[in-house]
């Protein structure tokens, strides 16, 4: 199939609306051509992952767009950056990288993006309606947007997200097309105990297993009796999108495009059914930990994706006024910080040894001390996946309650299995 | 020594045009996430769970059996291009809308950019251990030593 651009799109690509708009349109068109998309489609919003500093090249690109007079054409929220602009936590990024990271964040603001700085925009009032086409980046946000909100997005990589935002267009392919959103695989969790499904580490562990088993296929989860809550789905999607190339997950009876198993499958027989066993779950949980000897921990990190207000409340409840001897890095967005500051809750948490990390998180930028043989405990499948490569810390995986008790004790404390 | 059969060469489809490449073939045996999986400052595979952990992808003809994970893969690849640490060429079994954006944008920035080509996955293994060249029209050939 050959890509056909509208006369207006062609005019934009050749510079009629300025150099920045032209560059954005050419990037969208070139990607569409590579993917075999026949046309571009209008989009309603974007969520932009591209403002996180990975090196000077991304800053130079964003500034080129600014110099070219580009502005976003649709609502565009920003994912985390490399700096905590609220000053809650100290980022150890040194000059000149620090300055380049700041310039990058500034450039994206100049392009007209909202200073949301969160990987959970869907909990910060950016919730496109079911069935609308959008262009979202950040793998966990993509999964949530498609699966839980029922809006339609592909997994937009850094730079295509801002190019779509400026052009207001996206390639017509993949998950934008209803026929590509049907499940072909069943991930059956009905053999797992109800106690496990209701436990707070069930969904990140299942997500990690799901991503590895399913890869890039679209699956439907069968055997979930009740809605596990948005925070559980957030944790599940984030873990799945870390271990696999997952963009859309249906849960029969829970997510909007899966009122039933057969609707999710479009009435067809699944190509594959994965019957999840307790043993597979145990194995997946074990694989989230990389630490060999666990006689101590150096830090606890929670909030990947960013903590919701409800998750902060759970943390406060579990701490119950007790101080920690190992810091808990609690990563969240400014939408939650604003709430925490209202009743002096931020101060109360910080006085117990919690380090709030806002606008960013501990695996995307250097915040935790540079330790040789550091050990990080987390309840996040996504942190567990990325911490070893990005921070050098080995990982111990545990539930939120185990993370909190361990931070208080300074060594891993695991709840006795019932 | 007998000469290698011509069948070692492969015709590929060009996914992203760029500079012709030459280098040792590095055939990854598991999908990788560039963000978190490859160190943008060194080009080394940083994912401790990856079978090729510790190897550098810089200057190699990189055969990728798939990518997973973060949408920042494009940013890491573009940074590698900008820093001169990118693979000499990339070989994928299907277009990757996230990763290859790094090359598309690098071209827009007028940086010298490696090319990406498409080849069926089952053809990857025979290039392992060889020094290969990737021509601008997409021909992968094994260099005779």
Q: Which residues pair with A396 in a beta bridge?
A: A377
pLDDT at position A401, please?
97
Residue tagged 């200073």 (tokens): A115
Q: Is B134 on the interface with A (CB under 8 A)?
A: no
CA distance A322 to A412: 17
User: Of A189, A178, A115, A118, whose CA–CA distance to A146 is shortest?
Assistant: A178
Task: Please give the Cα distance from B69 to A63 (Å, whole number).
Answer: 27
Q: Which residues of A touch B67 (CB under 8 A)?
A: 245
Q: Where in chain A is the domain with CATH 3.30.499.10?
A: 7-177, 289-409
Minimal CA separation from A163 to chain B, in Å: 10
Question: Domain coordinates of chain B in residue numbers?
Answer: 6-142
Flag if B68 and A211 touch (Cβ within 8 Å). yes
Partnered with residue A221 across adjacent β-strands are A187, A251
B74 in A contact zone (CB under 8 Å): yes
Residue-level pLDDT, tens digit, chain A, 418 residues: 699 999 999 999 999 999 999 999 999 999 999 999 999 999 999 999 999 999 999 999 999 999 999 999 999 999 999 999 999 999 999 999 999 999 999 999 999 999 999 999 999 999 999 999 999 999 999 999 999 999 999 999 899 999 999 999 999 999 999 999 999 999 999 999 999 999 989 999 999 999 999 988 999 999 998 999 999 999 999 999 999 889 999 999 999 999 999 999 999 999 999 999 999 999 999 999 998 878 999 999 999 999 999 999 999 999 999 999 999 999 999 999 999 999 899 999 999 999 999 999 999 999 999 998 999 999 999 999 999 988 999 999 999 999 999 999 999 999 864 3
Residue A313, sorted as left (phi over 0), alpha (psi -120 to 50) or beta, turns out to be: alpha
State the smallest CA–CA distance between residue A322 and chain B in angstroms: 34
Q: Does B67 touch chain A (CB under 8 A)?
A: yes
Instruction: Give CA separation, A337 vs A106, A290, A342, in Å.
Output: 21, 31, 9
Q: Which has more pLDDT, B2 or B75?
A: B75
The chain A residue lying nearest B47, using CA atoms, is: A389
Residue A402 contacts residue A413 (beta carbons within 8 Å): yes
Minimal Cβ distance to A138: which of B46, B71, B109:
B71
Task: Mark out the alpha helices in A172-277 (DSSP H runs).
Answer: 194-198, 202-214, 230-243, 261-264
- Taking CB atoms and an 8 Å limit, are B79 and A34 in contact across chains? no
Going by C-beta distance under 8 Å and a sequence separation of 6 or more, which residues neighbour residue A357? A84, A88, A89, A303, A329, A330, A331, A332, A367
Q: Does residue B136 sit at the A interface (CB-CB below 8 Å)?
A: no
CB contact under 8 A, A157 and B95: no
Cα atoms in the 13 Å half-sphere on the side-chain side of A255: 30
Q: What is the pLDDT of residue A418?
A: 38
Residue A25 touches chain B, beta carbons under 8 Å: no
Query: Is A47 in a helix, a strand, or coil?
Result: strand
Given the candidates 3.10.20.740, 3.40.50.360, 3.50.30.10, 3.40.140.10, the CATH classification of the domain at B6-142 is 3.50.30.10
Nearest to A33 by CA among B60, B104, B5: B104
Nearest chain A Cα distance for residue B1, angstroms: 42
Which helix (H) or strand (E) segment is A186 a member of? strand A185-188
| Cβ contact B71–A49 (<8 Å) | yes
d(CA A36, CA A326): 51
Task: Give A289-409's CATH code, choosing from 1.20.1250.20, 3.30.1440.10, 3.30.499.10, 3.40.190.10.
Answer: 3.30.499.10
Query: Length of chain B in residues, anyone?
Result: 145
Looking at the complex, report in whole angstroms how far the Cα of residue A33 sits from the nearest Cα belonging to chain B. 9
Q: Which residue has the tokens 């700085």?
A: A117
Decide if pLDDT at B1 tops 50: no
**Closest chain B residue to A154 measured between Cα atoms?**
B97
pLDDT band at B7 (very low <50, low <70, confident <90, very high): low
User: Smallest Cβ distance to A158: which of B15, B37, B72?
Assistant: B72
Contact A388 B67 (CB under 8 A): no
- Judge whether A53 and B76 are in contact, CB under 8 Å: no
Q: Which CATH architecture has domain A7-177?
A: 2-Layer Sandwich (3.30)
- pTM of the predicted model as reported, rounded to 2 decimal places: 0.93
Just list the catalytic residues of B: 70
Could you list the beta-strand ranges (E) of A287-327.
Answer: 299-307
Residue B108 to residue A27, Cβ atoms within 8 A? yes
8 Å CB contact of A159 and B102: yes
* Helix, strand, or coil (residue B94): coil
CB A166 within 8 A of CB A24: yes
Residue pair B35/B72 in contact (Cβ under 8 Å)? The answer is yes
Helix (H, G, I), strand (E, B) or coil at A100: helix
What is the rounded distance in angstroms from the CA atom of residue A181 to the CA atom of residue A150?
10
- The residues, ordered by sequence, that sit 6+ positions from A252 with a Cβ below 8 Å of its Cβ are A220, A221, A222, A224, A258, A260, A261, A264
Q: Per-residue pLDDT tens for B76-98?
A: 999 999 999 999 999 999 999 88
pLDDT in tens, B20-69: 999 999 999 999 989 889 999 999 999 888 999 999 999 999 999 988 86
Strand ranges for A49-175 from DSSP E: 75-78, 135-136, 169-171
What's the order of all strands across the beta sheet hosting B139-142? B10-11, B139-142, B131-134, B21-27, B61-64, B89-92, B115-118, B13-16
Please state at what angle helix A381-391 crosses helix A230-243, rounded to 10 degrees.
40
């Amino acid at each position: 199939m050959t890509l056909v651009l509208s006369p207006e799109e062609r005019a934009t690509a050749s510079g009629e609306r300025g150099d920045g708009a032209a560059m954005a349109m050419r990037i969208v068109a070139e990607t569409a051509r590579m993917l075999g998309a026949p046309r571009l489609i209008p989009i309603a919003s974007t969520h932009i992952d591209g403002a996180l500093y990975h090196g000077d090249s991304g800053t130079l690109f964003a500034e080129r767009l600014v110099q070219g007079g580009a502005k976003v054409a649709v609502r565009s929220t920003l994912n985390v950056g490399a700096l905590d602009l609220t000053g809650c936590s100290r980022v150890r990024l040194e000059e000149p990288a620090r300055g380049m990271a700041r310039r990058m964040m500034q450039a994206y603001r100049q392009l007209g993006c909202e200073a949301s700085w969160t990987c959970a925009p869907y909990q910060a009032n950016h919730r496109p309606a079911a069935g609308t086409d959008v262009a979202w980046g950040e793998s966990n946000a993509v999964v949530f947007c498609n699966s839980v909100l029922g809006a339609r997005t592909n997994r937009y990589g850094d730079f295509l997200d801002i190019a779509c935002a400026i052009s207001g267009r996206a390639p017509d392919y993949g998950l934008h097309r209803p026929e590509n959103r049907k499940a072909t695989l069943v991930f059956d969790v009905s053999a797992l105990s109800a106690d496990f499904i209701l436990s707070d580490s069930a969904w990140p562990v299942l997500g990690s297993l799901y991503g590895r088993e399913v890869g890039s296929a679209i699956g439907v989860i069968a055997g979930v009796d009740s809605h596990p809550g948005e925070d559980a789905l957030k944790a599940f999607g984030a873990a799945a999108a870390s271990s696999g190339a997952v963009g859309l997950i249906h849960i029969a009876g829970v997510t909007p495009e899966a009122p039933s198993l057969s609707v999710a499958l479009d009435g067809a027989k699944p190509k594959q059914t994965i019957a999840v066993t307790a043993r597979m779950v145990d194995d997946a949980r074990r694989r989230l930990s990389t630490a060999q000897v666990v006689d101590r921990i150096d830090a606890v990190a929670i909030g990947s994706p960013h903590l919701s207000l409800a998750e902060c409340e759970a943390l406060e409840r579990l701490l119950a006024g007790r101080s920690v001897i190992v810091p808990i890095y609690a990563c969240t967005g400014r939408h939650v910080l604003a709430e925490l500051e209202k009743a002096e809750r931020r101060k109360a948490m910080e006085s117990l040894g919690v380090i709030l990390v806002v606008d960013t998180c501990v695996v995307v930028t250097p915040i935790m001390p540079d330790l040789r043989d550091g050990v990080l405990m987390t309840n996040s499948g996504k942190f567990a996946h990325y911490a070893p490569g990005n921070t050098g810390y080995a990982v111990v995986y545990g539930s939120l309650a185990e993370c909190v008790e361990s931070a208080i004790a300074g060594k891993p404390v695991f709840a006795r299995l019932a | 020594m007998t000469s290698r059969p011509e069948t070692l060469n492969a015709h590929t489809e060009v996914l992203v045009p760029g500079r012709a490449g030459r280098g040792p073939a590095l055939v990854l045996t598991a999908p990788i996430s560039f963000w978190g999986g490859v160190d943008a400052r060194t080009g080394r595979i940083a994912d401790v769970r990856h079978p090729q952990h510790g190897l550098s992808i810089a200057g190699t003809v990189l055969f990728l059996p798939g990518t997973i994970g973060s949408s920042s893969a494009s940013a890491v690849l573009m940074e590698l291009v900008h820093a001169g640490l990118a693979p000499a060429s990339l070989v994928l079994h299907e277009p990757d809308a996230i990763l290859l954006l790094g090359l598309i944008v690098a071209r827009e920035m007028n940086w010298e950019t490696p090319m990406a080509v498409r080849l069926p996955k089952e053809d990857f293994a025979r290039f392992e251990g060889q020094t290969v060249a990737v021509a601008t029209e997409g021909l992968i050939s094994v260099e005779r030593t």
